[in-house]
């Protein structure tokens, strides 16, 4: 019934796989857990022990192929009609996690259970935690208001027949926003999406400086997606692109860019501090996206 797919990169995943296997056994459903490691350099020995868990297969690639290709590869190896994508840095919060998805399986083509974050950050991780808490850990009652763009692939249940129709765009080679384009494809195909309250806890909270570097790379990916794949209407559905386009049409981007050059060091210092301001992060993203469009 279920193919549980876990893309791995430099993160220990044995405990997550063991929990999932135990829940599947209790439910008495047919299942497999497929884990593919995208040429990691860390936790390899620990992750190889995954193969000792029943109905589970772990393999490691010789060369890194990126997030989109890895997810498509996982799905291509799945033999059951339902796919459950879970990122390797997730923790299950409920012993009924799989039960909740199976219970709702026939109600929609796609189910998204949500994501949660711990209340307090360790030192120098405040920005990523605050962003996750305020912008990603969205309750069901708000997610349903924007069903497609509230979907994230870190905790996603989808019919294999639907996934095979859409897949991830493998031309996106850099980090970031492959799930944005995936969500747009769901909307284009008018795939039914349902949001349920079945979150996983995100453990992979990066240090603030590392996260800012990833934000810049993600903005480059978004600029590529925007110019290569999106209509004007679809661009307006993405918050960052919407504001960039509006500000640019109003002739304000040159002024904002000049001001940013003056304030950049102060903005970065705030973002890596223990009290980061998310509005300044929005400004940082706006400038990174603008720069990416011009490069």
CA distances (Å), 59 to each of 4, 67, 124, in order? 14, 16, 33
Tokens 């009290």 -> residue: 275
Measured CA to CA, the distance from residue 44 to residue 232 in angstroms comes to: 44
Final residue of a domain: which of 202, 231, 252? 202
Report the candidate in 282, 219, 289, 212 with the shortest Cα–Cα distance to residue 248: 289
Same domain, 213 and 188: no
Same domain, 99 and 144: yes
Q: Which domain holds residue 243?
A: 208-294
Final residue of a domain: which of 172, 187, 202? 202
Same domain, 193 and 232: no
As for how many domains the chain has, the answer is 2
Indicate if the pLDDT at residue 15 is higher than 70: yes
Same domain, 117 and 256: no
Final residue of a domain: which of 167, 202, 237? 202
pLDDT value for 257: 97
CA distances (Å), 220 to each of 12, 129, 139, 288, in order? 29, 22, 29, 8
pLDDT in tens, 78-121: 999 999 999 999 999 999 999 999 999 999 999 999 999 988 76
Same domain, 137 and 192: yes
pLDDT value for 124: 87
pLDDT in tens, 208-225: 999 999 999 999 999 999
């Amino acid at each position: 019934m279920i193919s549980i797919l876990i893309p791995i990169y430099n993160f220990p995943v044995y405990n997550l796989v063991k929990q999932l296997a135990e829940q599947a056994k209790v439910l008495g459903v047919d299942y497999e857990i497929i884990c593919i490691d995208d040429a990691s350099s860390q936790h390899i020995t620990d992750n190889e022990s995954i193969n000792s868990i029943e109905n589970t297969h772990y393999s490691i690639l010789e060369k890194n192929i990126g997030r989109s290709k890895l997810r498509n590869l996982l799905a291509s190896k799945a033999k059951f009609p339902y796919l459950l994508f879970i990122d390797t840095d997730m923790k299950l919060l409920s012993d009924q996690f799989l039960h909740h998805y199976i219970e709702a399986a026939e109600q929609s083509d796609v189910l998204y259970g949500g994501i949660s974050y711990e209340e307090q950050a360790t030192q120098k991780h405040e920005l990523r935690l605050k962003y996750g808490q305020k912008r990603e850990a969205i309750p069901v009652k708000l997610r349903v208001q924007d069903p497609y763009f509230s979907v994230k692939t870190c905790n996603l249940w989808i019919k294999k027949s639907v996934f095979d129709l859409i897949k991830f765009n493998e031309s996106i080679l850099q980090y970031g926003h492959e799930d944005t384009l995936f969500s747009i494809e769901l909307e284009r195909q008018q795939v039914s999406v349902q949001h349920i309250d079945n979150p996983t806890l995100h453990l992979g909270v990066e240090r603030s400086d590392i996260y800012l570097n990833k934000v810049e790379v993600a903005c480059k990916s978004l600029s590529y997606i925007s110019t290569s794949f999106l209509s004007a209407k679809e661009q307006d559905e993405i918050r960052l692109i919407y504001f960039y386009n509006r500000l640019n049409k109003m002739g304000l981007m040159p002024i904002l860019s000049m001001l940013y050059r003056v304030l950049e060091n102060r903005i970065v210092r705030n973002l890596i501090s223990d009290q980061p301001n998310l509005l300044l992060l929005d400004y940082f993203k706006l400038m990174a996206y603008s720069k990416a469009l011009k490069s």
